[in-house]
Amino acid sequence: MASIKDVAAEAGVSVATVSRVLNDHPSVSSDARTRVLRAVAALGYRPNAVARSLRTDQTRTLGLVISDVLNPYFTELARSVEEEARALGYSVIIGNADERPDLQDHHVRTLLDRRIDGLLVSPTDGGSPLMLDAARAGTPMVFVDRWIPGVDVPVVRADGQSAVRDLVAHLYGLGHRRLAIIAGPAATTTGSERVQAFREALAAYGLPLPDVYTGQGDFQAESGRRVTEGFLDLPEPPEVVFAADNLMALGALDAIRARGLRVPDDIALAAFDDIPWFVHTDPPVTAVAQPTGELGRAAVRALVDRIEGRPPQSVTLPARLVVRRSCGETPEAAPEAASEAPHSPEPPRPPAPQAVPGPAPAAVTEVPATNRSKP
């Protein structure tokens, strides 16, 4: 392997001149710079990244802590983050929190110890003192998909609330009136926000969301199965189960089939976070889709902006309703290839019946104005 001395000898310059060229120092003549770069290419010389990081105080490395690597949504997110980072000249170290706050903080601490240039996090809960301290200390950081209220960090997210409103409008138009939700963890912003959006969308049609139609899940398939079994045991089961993430939807589908019931003939099913698997289930599942790849790319760009001293910007991208066959749609309305309906801020609403008072909405912590821009 060629050394810096070999490059200097090949180019006919000093080692110091080679070092200045590699560090883009202005005090080098164009002729010397050209000779050095040609020598680098000819010899296949690669500067030592560790040594360079000690000189420049940059490692060209980003950290990514995701909530659950087994969830296809986060798998796709991680892939898009890695691709965009590579295109911008950064490598990525990934930590899987497995929806555990303690493991999340372990990964964050390890990444900070490795002197990463910046950190992308999809928090597993809303109260990590470690990330609050890191943000206050000036660590370049961006939250993606989820965020921590009170931490002044840019957020890159999708507008899931509008898509949930579209979903409820779609279900109401199909004649469904008893709608239930498998909620995600209340400690996560996405968990609390999706159930709140669902409750508010139902209220716009005069429909309540009784406590018995609100099941607490944890973004894992087993919780979707457990909650759905409880719904099916009710004297009056819901007509629709809306799972607030894809894994809980798969668990719900398992529970329905285990009872010998059929979707949508006996009970309808919809999900948040569309995944490729939903095209291949029987029937294909109607779902809210987030622009996962673009979220990952936008998060990297926002983080690099912070690293390079540009003003941080939060980003909100549109989500959409993907209409398939799991809620009683006709083949014409939902072809097997899956139609995609872009969401609108105010979907058309049929005349609502007399409002029926429901339980008080769950409290949702407001995002600081500096963090806004997501679902």
pLDDT of 297-310, one tens digit each? Answer: 999 999 999 999 99
Whether pLDDT at 349 is above 50: no
Whether pLDDT at 151 is above 50: yes
pLDDT digits (tens, 9 = 90+) for 112-135: 988 899 999 999 887 778 888 888
Instruction: Look up residue 30 and give its two tokens.
Output: 């164009």
Residue 355 confidence (pLDDT): 36
> For the chain, which domains are there?
4-47 (1.10.260.40), 61-158+294-316 (3.40.50.2300), 159-290+318-371 (3.40.50.2300)
pLDDT digits (tens, 9 = 90+) for 168-202: 999 999 999 999 999 999 999 999 999 999 999 99
What is the residue-averaged pLDDT of the chain?
A: 86
* Contact by Cβ (8 Å): 374, 145: yes
pTM greater than 0.85 (yes/no):
no
Left, alpha or beta for 310 (phi > 0: left; psi -120 to 50: alpha)? beta
Residue (of 168, 141, 145, 172) closest to 156 by Cα position: 145
Q: What share of the chain is helix, strand, coil (3-state, %, to 5)?
A: 40, 15, 45
Distance CA 109, CA 99 (A): 16
Residue 307 confidence (pLDDT): 93
Residue 77 confidence (pLDDT): 97
Residue (of 160, 113, 128) closest to 317 by Cα position: 160
Q: Which residue has the higher pLDDT, 25 or 289?
A: 289
Residue 203: count of CB within 10 angstroms of its CB:
18
Q: What is the mean pLDDT of residues 150-167?
A: 94
Non-local (6+) Cβ contacts of 284 within 8 A are: 278, 324, 325, 326, 334, 336, 338
Q: Any bridge partners for residue 95, and if so which?
A: 65
Amino acid at 284: P
* Contact by Cβ (8 Å): 119, 135: no
Instruction: Look up residue 219 and give its two tokens.
Output: 């973004």
What DSSP state is assigned to residue 212? G
* Contact by Cβ (8 Å): 182, 228: yes
Residue 19 confidence (pLDDT): 80
Amino acid at 257: R
- Helix 101-113 crosses helix 129-136 at what angle (to 10 degrees)? 30
Q: Is 266 helix (H, G, I), strand (E, B) or coil?
A: coil
Tokens 């710079």 -> residue: 33
